[in-house]
Structure 1
Amino acid sequence: VAAGMGPLALGTDTGGSVRIPAAMCGVVGLKPTYGVLPGEGVAPLSWSLDTPGVLSRSVADAALAFAALTGTGADAHLEPWSVPEPASAEGLTLAVPDDALFSRCSPDVAERVAAGVDLLAAAGARIVRVSLPMADLVSPAVALIMAAEASAHHRRALRDGTALHPTTRDRLEEGALVPARDYIDALRTRQLLHAKWQEAFEGIDAFVLPTVAIPPVAHGEFFLPQPDGGMDVVPVASTRFAHPASLTGLPALSVPCGSPEDGLPVGLQFMGRPHGEQTLLRLGRLYESLSGGPWPVAEVPAGG
């Protein structure tokens, strides 16, 4: 999609696997509300987290794909699907994580996301600073649920000696060791977190946060220095801001943040209420109009 070889693609977002590659490739990624799109045909990883999603060059294309996948937006006379108009910034209230959470981003990501928020504010949106509910409990719960459910689903492959990549086998075997009480505690955490997020949306149209805490890294790079002098692990930094929507099942949209001239791609993420995809798509179109998007097709050199 980023190279222009196709207008859109389908993916599965379990812990961010639609939004994260979208952010790192300068394209749009839509993770709908859990359960809105059927999971038939999806290779299961975690049945209570797996969510089909869309990657596209623009928010308009994501909106058309979502309408086609859900069967909405066209009547019995097969009229063309419509694209939602960009939202008006006037009257919007957007929640942005507090500075403590932004301190866990690379400086480049923090600066560009802050600039994106400033664009929305300058257009008339009201910005409020908030703390994300139970932020430190989200990723551990996602990891436990994902590991336990993946191992349970693929237990026959483990038992029968089916050919598996060594890393895949190791992860499935680790998942088999997750105690039932830990899995149940993770499910309870999700239930509580969902209630907390429902409360957090009181008076809020959407949350605005980074999609990924770091810009794209070189292949094989695993540790990154943090602004506070510590070290961050790439898989943790990559999923930190994706996991809240994964665990709660809330819809989320990642759009390219800034412009290609700013450097490597960075994603700006909008999180919405359950079944609030149209609001997110309208917000995404608004941000595109303010930032000069969508991004042009990436130039990929030919050759081998």
Structure 2
Amino acid sequence: MRDGPLGELHWLGVADAAEAIASRDLSPVELMQALLDRIDALDPRLNAFLRLDAGAAMAAARAAESEAAAGRLRGPLHGVPVGLKDIIDVAGLPTTCHSKILEGNVAAADAVCVEKLRGAGAIVVGKLSTHEFAIGGPSFDLPWPPARNPWNTDHHPGGSSSGSGSGVAAGLFPMALGTDTGGSVRNPASCCGIVGLKPTYGLVSRRGVFPLSFTLDHVGPMTRSVADNALMLAAIAGHDPLDPGSAAAARGHHAEALERGIRGLRVGFVRHFHEVDTPAEPEVTAALGHVMRTLQMEGAEVRDVTLPTLGEFGAVNRVILQSEAFAIHGKWLRERPGDYGELSRKRLLAGAFFGAGDYVQAQRRRLQMIAEVEAVLREVDVLLCASSMDPPCRIDVPADVDRTYPRQARTPFNVTGHPALAMMAGLSVDGLPLSVQFVGRYFDEATVYQVARAWERAAGTDRKHPPIV
């Protein structure tokens, strides 16, 4: 079917795979088999999957091959495999949220985002590891083990979309869906050296996704390149009148400026996040400085800007998240506390101690913070800031996990709802990913992608893969 080699199929990106399938240079069955072989070889070390749905995936690949042969393509993702965080419903499969609480919870229908991916032609490979209910992890007292980092399996892959980050980075599948309430798409993207976007609040429907916090939750794409991320976002974005948080936004042309360059764009560097509020490791600080200088060399105008402190953002996020999460989990916490893992039980129970006044005051301060970020974004086109303040820590040292987990600058943009993308900024001396974050105006994912692509093109981050064989 192919005239020439496509290289190692497990590193084939979303757009390249879709194009090769559409031109009949690649069989969806061949691609799926290559990925299933890789999953079989590597996942026992990575634990990215909670449930591999190999039979259904191969049947869908055969159907996609027949359709492609007949010239019928379902959409721009025809025949391309996708992994799904296991808080996202897939009809006929359990949605366990990585928890004993929901071990037998079989979904009756696809989540809206899954329905949209299937409509675009994507093939679901299976359900992926997460922190329990997207809050408690990495945990070793759950029915399934936590996912591990493919750059070094002794290290944490980030969370809570941990299997999504690990699997995309390791070449088990070219794209995955994660969710992000305090950084849970961008943390694994940062730790695993891939591209993870938290879209504008309301851009992607959350119907069929188990909630953690009603007003902070987002669904976002995770890929190995910026262009692939934009392609995936285009497939899942759109208004859903049955999701109360969904926005009736105009259809975005997310990839329209990818190769336009950034000459003349104004970039606001939120330097105080990593220099003052939560001082970063020197390697992270150096990597962020290199990103800044590279953007300047590419023609952007970079200036320092000031936002509320990370401490303020974190306090507001914590009150809202834990209050809303307790509203969801209170009944189970009273009736089945022992069925939670220790970490999630502790984190969820904290919400019982916030009062209505705390919640209202946090929401009031949230509105003020939104106004402050909006004011800055009227003066610049995009923000540049840290994502993680440290390289990934060891997964089996709880003190290191506890120390590094809050050392990040992701939660501000769950509080405000602005689109935020995390990606690789370089590698540490130990060969672990370092990260950077780009943030844009509401529904202006196109400019976020434009700046991220300029950095990716200059640094070649999309060509850097973990050493796992």
- Per-residue CA deviation, residues 53-84 of structure 1 (Å, 9 max, x unaligned), is 11101011101100111269xxxxxxxx9843
2:186 corresponds to which residue? 19
Determine the C-alpha separation between the residues in 2 that align with 1:260 and 1:173. Answer: 36
Q: Specify the structure having the higher radius of gyration (Cα).
A: 2
Q: Which has the higher contact order (CA 8 A, sep 6+)?
A: 1
Q: 5 Å matches for 1:54-203?
A: 54-70=221-237, 83-84=255-256, 85-98=258-271, 101-103=274-276, 104-161=279-336, 163-203=339-379
Deviation for aligned residue 1:99: 5.1
Q: Equivalent residue of 1:144, what SS?
A: helix
2:403 corresponds to which residue? 233
Q: Using a 3 Å threshold, how does the CA distance of structure 1 residues 262 and 256 change in structure 2: closer, same or farther?
A: farther
Runs of at least 5 residues in structure 2 that lack an aligned partner in the other structure: 1-167, 240-252
Determine the C-alpha separation between the residues in 2 that align with 1:269 and 1:82. Answer: 17
Deviation for aligned residue 1:193: 0.3
Deviation for aligned residue 1:100: 7.0
Determine the C-alpha separation between the residues in 2 that align with 1:236 and 1:82. Answer: 31
Deviation for aligned residue 1:220: 3.8
Deviation for aligned residue 1:154: 1.4
- Per-residue CA deviation, residues 77-104 of structure 1 (Å, 9 max, x unaligned), is xxxx984333422111101123574251
Q: Using a 3 Å threshold, how does the CA distance of structure 1 residues 263 and 37 change in structure 2: closer, same or farther?
A: same
2:438 corresponds to which residue? 270
| 8 A contact 2:274–2:389 mirrored in 1 | no
Deviation for aligned residue 1:144: 1.1
Q: 2:382 aligns with which of 182, 206, 219?
A: 206
Runs of at least 5 residues in structure 1 that lack an aligned partner in the other structure: 73-80, 225-231
Determine the C-alpha separation between the residues in 2 that align with 1:71 and 1:152. Answer: 28
Q: Using a 3 Å threshold, how does the CA distance of structure 1 residues 185 and 204 change in structure 2: closer, same or farther?
A: same
2:210 corresponds to which residue? 43
1:227 corresponds to which residue? none
Q: Report the RMSD for the aligned CA atoms in angstroms.
A: 2.2
1:31 corresponds to which residue? 198
Q: 2:454 aligns with which of 276, 286, 292?
A: 286
Q: Letter of the 1:130 partner, please give it.
A: V
| 8 A contact 2:203–2:238 mirrored in 1 | no
Q: Equivalent residue of 1:236, what SS?
A: coil
Determine the C-alpha separation between the residues in 1 that align with 2:456 and 2:430. Answer: 15
Deviation for aligned residue 1:106: 0.6
Deviation for aligned residue 1:281: 1.1
Q: Give percent identity, aligned residues only.
A: 35
Q: Using a 3 Å threshold, how does the CA distance of structure 1 residues 259 and 165 change in structure 2: closer, same or farther?
A: closer
Determine the C-alpha separation between the residues in 2 that align with 1:99 and 1:200. Answer: 14
Stretch moving more, 138-147 or 212-221: 212-221
TM-score, normalization: structure 2?
0.57
Q: Using a 3 Å threshold, how does the CA distance of structure 1 residues 43 and 193 change in structure 2: closer, same or farther?
A: same
Q: 2:466 aligns with which of 286, 291, 298?
A: 298
Q: Letter of the 2:391 partner, please give it.
A: P
Q: Letter of the 2:185 partner, please give it.
A: V
Determine the C-alpha separation between the residues in 1 that align with 2:414 and 2:217. Answer: 8
Determine the C-alpha separation between the residues in 1 that align with 2:176 and 2:190. Answer: 14
Q: Using a 3 Å threshold, how does the CA distance of structure 1 residues 273 and 257 change in structure 2: closer, same or farther?
A: same
Determine the C-alpha separation between the residues in 2 that align with 1:96 and 1:296. Answer: 25
Deviation for aligned residue 1:134: 4.2
Determine the C-alpha separation between the residues in 2 that align with 1:110 and 1:92. Answer: 23
Q: 1:7 aligns with which of 156, 174, 180?
A: 174
Q: Letter of the 1:54 partner, please give it.
A: P
Determine the C-alpha separation between the residues in 2 that align with 1:4 and 1:44. Answer: 28
1:250 corresponds to which residue? 418
Q: Equivalent residue of 1:94, what SS?
A: strand
Q: Letter of the 1:20 partner, please give it.
A: N
Determine the C-alpha separation between the residues in 2 that align with 1:208 and 1:148. Answer: 30
Determine the C-alpha separation between the residues in 2 that align with 1:114 and 1:165. Answer: 39
TM-score, normalization: structure 1?
0.87
Determine the C-alpha separation between the residues in 2 that align with 1:50 and 1:37. Answer: 10
Q: Using a 3 Å threshold, how does the CA distance of structure 1 residues 88 and 262 change in structure 2: closer, same or farther?
A: farther
1:53 corresponds to which residue? 220
